[in-house]
Amino acid sequence: MEIRFEKREQLKEKPDEKQLGFGKYMTDYMFVLDWDRGQGWHDARIVPHGPIALEPACVTLHYAQETFEGLKAYRRADGKIQLFRPQMNARRMIASNERLCMPELPEEMFVEAVKAIVEVEKDWVPSEPGTSLYIRPFTFATESALGVHMASSFKFVIICTPVGAYYAEGINPVKILVEDELVRAVKGGTGFTKCGGNYAASILGQVRAEEKGYTQVLWLDGVERKYVEEVGTMNIMFKIAGEFYTAPIEGTVLAGVTRDSIIHILRDWGYQVNETKLSIDDLMKAGHDGTLEEAFGTGTAAVISPVGELAYRDDVVTVNDFKIGEVSQKLYDYLTGIQWGREEDKYGWTVEV
């Protein structure tokens, strides 16, 4: 792919690596690629990060033909920069775009585009412990026309933002509220895709949970509101009586890259991992009878987010005395070790930029 480069006159000042937060600072450049019916993908370019002009009738603003991805670039101790399993993000975006009738960007082009923007922005990849460059690729329809249909023009864009250590103050387990009224996904819908619409529909549950003092929502299946599915932007796993449980990938749950990596590692370590339906009643019961040993969310942002408390209707269980579990901690250390290059990458998951 030929990529045109448009230099900006003045580069931005880099923020303090100790105060990065999440998604506050945007880098100097963005990657842009256009798609038009008949022409396909064309005009790859890296241009100064800035506003994109859209017609008020742009179909994305009305019908949410939009998908996105999220991955990180990590700076190793030797100064080199690496990505973690970017091919999986590429494939997931293909699956998302297919479901939303959007053009699919081939895996190699996706990875090449990510590498190209990170290469240009390499000075933005921070080196403070736990920091990284968050990469946000997204595709959206640009056609201006009212009327629901498959659009005839799209843009694929990548923006980047340096992000701080997720656990600057140590890993603190979070309180999770089990949502028993609103639903996130049903089979046949878009739950397995990373599309903007899924998140718009989830904000009400998130707001209500926060009002009650909880950090995140745990979604149940959309039909019976009985089986545990996932958290807002994380998959979730439970260790019950020595075995791990997580929802199966059957159309409603997002196939997390972190989820897949953790399952690989756990199986390698000799644990039984059950990708199976787990009812909220069985989960709460395990919480009360002492067999629920550990609970944690998995996602690119936090890697592992331990759960300290689960509330479902009037029932509350505390997990592992509100402390991070032993295996959770080991997983966190090992996986972040691979991502930042401290551990040998025996699975071949990292890609050098």
CB of 309 to ligand PLP, least distance (A): 20
Using the minimum distance from each CB to ligand PLP, give the nearer residue, 257 or 310: 257
Residue from 66, 143, 179, 230 binding ligand PLP (CB under 6 A): 230
Interacting residue with ligand PLP among 142, 246, 258, 350 (CB under 6 A):
258
Whole-angstrom Cα distance, residue 315 to residue 251?
29
Pick between residue 194 and residue 239 the one whose CB is nearest to ligand PLP.
194
Of 234, 273, 292, 335, the one binding ligand PLP by CB under 6 A: 234
Length reported for the chain:
353
Q: Is 299 in the site for ligand PLP (CB under 6 A)?
A: yes
Residue 47 or 301 having the CB closest to ligand PLP? 301
Contact pick of 118, 254, 295, 310 for ligand PLP (by CB under 6 A)? 254
Please tell me the number of Cα atoms within 13 Å of 74 on its side-chain side.
25
Q: Does 67 bind ligand PLP (CB under 6 A)?
A: no
Give how many residues touch ligand PLP by CB under 6 A.
14
Q: Tell which one of 20, 257, 266, 304 touches ligand PLP (CB under 6 A).
A: 257
Comparing C-alpha atoms, which of 22, 113, 134, 118 is closest to residue 70? 134
Q: How far is the CB of 199 from ligand PLP (least distance, A)?
A: 7
Q: Which is nearer to ligand PLP, 133 or 257 (CB)?
A: 257
Least distance CB 69 / ligand PLP (angstroms) = 8
- Rounded Cα distance between 353 and 340, Å, is 13
Query: Interacting stretch for ligand PLP, rule CB under 6 A, among 18-26, 146-154, 252-260, 344-352?
Result: 252-260
Report the nearest approach of ligand PLP to the CB of residue 314 (Å): 27
Among residues 233, 320, 339, 350, the one that binds ligand PLP under rule CB under 6 A:
233
For residue 307, state whether it binds ligand PLP (rule: CB under 6 A): no
Q: What is the rounded CA–CA span in Å between residue 50 and residue 277?
A: 44
How many Å apart are CA 93 and CA 140, to the nearest integer? Answer: 12
Neighbours of 116 (CB within 10 A): 19
Choice between 44 and 118, CB closer to ligand PLP:
118
Which backbone phi and psi does 107 adopt, to 5 degrees? -50, -45
Q: Which is nearer to ligand PLP, 103 or 196 (CB)?
A: 196
Q: Are 29 and 45 in contact (CB under 8 A)?
A: no
Quote the CA–CA distance of 73 and 83 in Å, as a whole number. 5
Contact 298, 233 (CB under 8 A): no
Q: Does 259 bind ligand PLP (CB under 6 A)?
A: yes
Q: Quick one: 60 or 258, whose CB is closer to ligand PLP?
A: 258
Kindly tell me which residue out of 256, 287, 308, 325 binds ligand PLP, with binding defined by CB under 6 A: 256
Secondary structure (3-state) at 17: helix
The residues with which 144 forms a beta bridge, in sequence order, are 58
Footprint (CB under 6 A) of ligand PLP, residues 80-139: none
Q: Tokens 């923007």 appear where?
A: 117
CB of residue 261 vs ligand PLP: minimum separation in angstroms?
8
CA angle 54, 59, 62 (to 5 degrees): 105
The residue (of 88 and 240) whose beta carbon lies closer to ligand PLP is 88
Give the DSSP letter of residue 320: G
Among 27, 132, 235, 252, binds ligand PLP (CB under 6 A): 235
Q: Residue 46 or residue 295: which is nearer to ligand PLP going by CB?
A: 295
Chain Cα centroid distance, residue 80:
23
Rg (CA), the chain: 21
Coil, strand or helix at 92: helix
User: Could you tell me the sign of the dihedral formed by the alpha carbons of 239, 211, 233, 113, in that order?
Assistant: negative
Task: Give the interface with ligand PLP as residue ranges (CB under 6 A).
Answer: 70, 194, 230, 233-235, 254, 256-259, 298-300
